[in-house]
Structure 1
Amino acid sequence: MKTIAKFFFALLLVTIISIPSFAQSTVSLGVKGGANIATFRGEDVKDYDNRTAFNFGLLLNYSVAEKVGLSLEADYASMGAKYDGSILGIETGEYTTKLDYLRTSLLFNYYMGTSEMDVRPELFVGPYVGFLMGADNKYEDNDYNDVKDAYNATDFGAVFGAGLHLRVGEKMWLVPDVRYNLGLVDIFDNDNFEGRNGVLSVNLGLTFPLN
């Protein structure tokens, strides 16, 4: 996992250093937020249900060419899952697991149409790395209990999705999107239990020009 994280940050560093070499680049800064529909993925956690939560953060866009761009994103994302416990078919109540991550993503964007259009669809894909900020579990309406030691400190995966750029001013864009964060590594610190994150998000962002 440490090797993956080092590779990811090396990729971020190379991207940031390379940006000034693109004379035609348009750079914009933005804010974003949205709703997460999160769950766990894997055979050991197949009976878990979705947990609805949130994300919010910042984004930096580089429009390198007419149809190509890069985005650096950093957000705080609340994730996790729910589980309806049962013994011999008798319901014992609902357990909720809340996982909070600080995530960083590098997205490769493909813009459709031209920059003169007021509405531009886009597709994007890229890697993300998440750092666990907190993990809590509760039964029914009881208080949350800290279970951070039961989870790995980092998460890694892929992001893919689609969105729109809606012009609201000179180089200002309203950016709604739908995306899926596909976790690729085990999040549990348990040799006998395995699972990965899966998060469907509906987001809304607003970007402002920096040049």
Structure 2
Amino acid sequence: MKKVIFVLSMFATCFSSEVIAQKNVSFGPLVGVNFSKLTGNQPYSDWKTGSTAGIFINYSGESRFGVNGQVLYSRMGGESPNGASKGHLDYLQIPIMGTYYLNGRGNKFRPKVMLGPYIGFLLKAVNENDVSINPEGATRPFKGVDGGAAMGAGFNYAIGRMVWLNADVRYNLGLTQVMNTVSDVHNRSWGINVGLSFPLGEYSPSTGTLR
């Protein structure tokens, strides 16, 4: 976990310095759907559907590289193989991803690939009846922090002079154990996300827009 926090801190420091220096920044809301499960020998090893919502901030440099940071509410967990029960793990997730655009600034349609670490803070763990599956006690079943790698691909599309549609398909690979009572249990999830970005700071003088 210390390694995950260290990597996140390094990304955040680089992101902040670039933002201050360039100010080619946009931000906006994001919503999505995810399909998640837990690995290992535990009850929720099959895929289930959840939701994602939050805000994001983009930095796009003069080159094809950029950085994307997000703060998300994400409902993860899994379903029992026979479909009899579901476990919902609600996280506050913070992914920070390096972004590479497949074409240059000034294009209306910009495909992209993304990769970076994330950290998640468990808000609550309940079953389908909203009953806690992480009760208070000497040893709570689920850990309070999750960390891993986020990777994906998508595009930014200009729908107005100052507004961009952001869309991506993402895979989250949990690298830390999420349970105290069972070993080798990790989060896995696929997500489809859509957002709108609006300018923050200065425009690029070459295009008059932000990405």
Q: Any residues of structure 2 matched to 1:21-170 within 5 Å, and which? A: 22-23=21-22, 25-42=23-40, 44-45=41-42, 48-84=45-81, 94-138=84-128, 143-148=129-134, 149-170=140-161
Question: 1:183 is matched with which residue: 166, 169, 174?
Answer: 174
CA distance in structure 2 between the aligned counterparts of 1:20 and 1:206, rounded to whole angstroms: 19
Q: Does 1:208 align with 2:198?
A: yes
Q: Secondary structure at the match of 2:6?
A: helix
Spell out, residue by residue over 1:66-115, the C-alpha distance to the aligned partner (whole angstroms, 9 max, x if none): 30101111100001101045xxxxxxx61210000000011100011122
Q: Runs of 4 or more off by more than 6 Å in structure 1? A: none
Q: Does 1:15 align with 2:1?
A: no
Distance 1:118 1:137, change over 3 A: same
Amino acid in the other structure paired with 1:187:
V
Spell out, residue by residue over 1:161-207, the C-alpha distance to the aligned partner (whole angstroms, 9 max, x if none): 000111011242101110001101110111x4431001100110100
Amino acid in the other structure paired with 1:14:
T
- TM-score by structure 2 length? 0.85
Distance 1:57 1:166, change over 3 A: same
Name 2:137's counterpart in structure 1.
none
Spell out, residue by residue over 1:109-129, the C-alpha distance to the aligned partner (whole angstroms, 9 max, x if none): 001112221111000000000
Identity of aligned residues (%): 31
CA distance in structure 2 between the aligned counterparts of 1:208 and 1:105, rounded to whole angstroms: 20
Q: Secondary structure at the match of 1:11?
A: helix
Q: Is the 8 A contact 2:177 2:183 kept in 1?
A: no
CA distance in structure 2 between the aligned counterparts of 1:125 and 1:13, rounded to whole angstroms: 14
Q: Is the 8 A contact 1:22 1:64 kept in 2?
A: no
Amino acid in the other structure paired with 1:172:
V
**Structure 2 unaligned blocks of 5 or more:** 135-139, 202-211
Whose strand proportion is higher, 1 or 2? 1
User: What number of residue pairs does the alignment pair up?
Assistant: 196
**Structure 1 unaligned blocks of 5 or more:** 86-92
- TM-score by structure 1 length? 0.85
- Residue 4 of structure 1 deviates from its aligned partner by 3.2
RMSD: 1.9
CA distance in structure 1 between the aligned counterparts of 2:5 and 2:185, rounded to whole angstroms: 23
